[in-house]
Structure 1
Amino acid sequence: MAGRFMDIKETAEYLNVSVSWMYKNAKHSGLVIYRFGAGANSKIRFKESEVESWVKQQRVLGE
């Protein structure tokens, strides 16, 4: 199975952040972005398993 992809709104809800945060910070935060299509009509997607792995890496120990 290739894995489930989430759109930017689903990913923002999963991470409990705003959609605008996703557009501004996703790339710089280390989230892997997939773009389907070209130009203004392209779709940005995030692989669910990779988002889950990213979340686990954000854990801060000792707090």
Structure 2
Amino acid sequence: MDRRFAGITAAAEYLDVSERWMYRESRRHGIPRYYFGGRLKFKIEDLDRWARQQRVV
């Protein structure tokens, strides 16, 4: 199954962070997020793009 969107738990696991961190930092640092039926969702493609932008050189 192609999973384009991930819920908060799956997104946190994907980035290896806590759910609390995902809630806080998605607001604070602009990780793109979506609401469907009152549930917070993250696009996997957006998480990848955001993670690449966080790279420290």
Is the structural similarity TM-score above 0.5? Answer: yes
Shift of 1:25: 1.7
1:25 and 1:51 map into 2 onto residues whose CA distance is 12
Unmatched runs of 5 consecutive residues or more in structure 2: none
- Indicate the structure (1 or 2) with the bigger Cα radius of gyration: 1
TM-score after normalising by structure 1: 0.79
Shift of 1:12: 0.4
- 1:17 counterpart residue number: 17
- 1:8 counterpart residue number: 8
2:50 and 2:24 map into 1 onto residues whose CA distance is 17
- The count of residues paired between Structure 1 and Structure 2 equals 55
Cα RMSD over matched residues?
1.2
Name the % identity.
42
Unmatched runs of 5 consecutive residues or more in structure 1: none
The within-5 A match list for 1:29-40 is: 29-37=29-37
1:57 and 1:8 map into 2 onto residues whose CA distance is 20
